[in-house]
Amino acid sequence: MRHAVRHLADGREIHYYDERDTHRDAVDTRDLPPRDPASEIRRDPLTGEWVALAAHRQTRTYKPPADLCPLCPSVPGRPTEVPESAYDVVVFENRFPSFSGGRGRCEVMCFTSDHQTSFGELSPERVRLIVDVWADRTEALSALPGVAQVYPFENRGDEIGVTLGHPHGQIYAYPFITPRTEKMLAVAAAAGGPVMGEVLAAERTSGKRVIAESAHWTAFVPEAARWPVEVHLVPHRRVPDLPALTPEERADFSRLYLKVLGRLDGLHDRELPYIAAWHQAPVSEGRDLAWLHLQVFSILRSADKLKYLAGSESGMAVWINDVTPESLADRLRAAPARYGFEEPAG
């Protein structure tokens, strides 16, 4: 992996990650206004949870046509967020961040310069590079003052609320530990260690909800799935975060994940709208209680129906799922790989 750091016209950092030596010297020629993101965080006194307020995000780019995509490479006469004419993987500070002013950081991560593809259509080699970038950015952001947790994720599909169609994800560096992570750490502390180890062992033994397995990872539908489509990809070895993965574990994940994405797209013979969320240990707390895993979930409960968070979910955070995990696992095992990578037969 080759890593080059440059700066955009308003001073934001942009990081180029390439599979081979590539000279990066393109200049951002845009006349951008000075950065003045006015985000803040407030604590809910009733729940103790933090809420981010970022009114400046109301003016962010919303569903532009493909020829005006700000994440595509720059071309003569149309400069974008990426000054170069092509790239492998690029990461830059979000122009409209949810967290700013020294209270966290938000980055955009573009997986490819090809606007028309998707993550599931990438090569195993490109996904391996992406895993290395996730790990590199996790280390870099964890070292920033005030950062408590790093969260890489991808949103895909209009139904999820994606406003830019280019294949990309984001990385949030939170100035606090998220509620979901606090709950998982509390359960692990009460049990005397990471619960994921017991869950993983039970799922591998049963096999009822396992949809794919490799030397270092298992992908399964969780027994208490909240979403109509939900898959967890879990490493067999307990590691707290992405930087702790070995080269072999990173390469193995890359191939397995493409297989899973292919089956997810094959489930309804369409691109599945999804959120892919990396659950990592906080920067400095509970690291011995956390077990890295990727959660991929979708609100699509049939080919043309969405699950909405209604009264119970939104009001009381009690999920009601219309799809049983066992039936979903059966369907995913039988689903053809619509686009994704599959190991060759034999």
The pLDDT tens digits of the residues spanning 124-156 come to: 999 999 999 999 999 999 999 999 999 999 999
Q: Determine the topology of domain 180-334 in CATH.
A: HIT family, subunit A (3.30.428)
Domain segments of the chain: what residues? Answer: 2-178, 180-334
Residue 345 has pLDDT above 70, yes or no: no
Catalytically annotated residues: 168
- Please determine, looking at this structure, whether the domain spanning 2-178 carries the CATH number 3.30.428.10: yes
The pLDDT tens digits of the residues spanning 44-66 come to: 999 999 999 987 777 777 789 98
The pLDDT tens digits of the residues spanning 165-209 come to: 999 999 999 999 999 999 999 999 999 999 999 999 999 999 999
What's the whole-number average pLDDT of the chain?
Answer: 94
Amino acid letter, residue 190: A
The pLDDT tens digits of the residues spanning 99-122 come to: 876 789 999 999 999 999 999 999
User: CA 315, CA 308: separation in Å to the nearest integer?
Assistant: 12
Structure token pair of residue 204? 């591998």
Return the axis-axis angle of helices 124-142 and 247-267, rounded to nearest 10°.
Answer: 120
Q: What is the pLDDT of residue 346?
A: 39
Which residues are bridge partners to 233 per DSSP? 219, 294
Do the domains 180-334 and 2-178 match in fold?
Answer: yes
Neighbours of 60 (CB within 10 A): 14
For the chain, percent of residues with pLDDT exceeding 90: 89
Helix (H) or strand (E) holding 260: helix 247-267
Give the pTM: 0.96
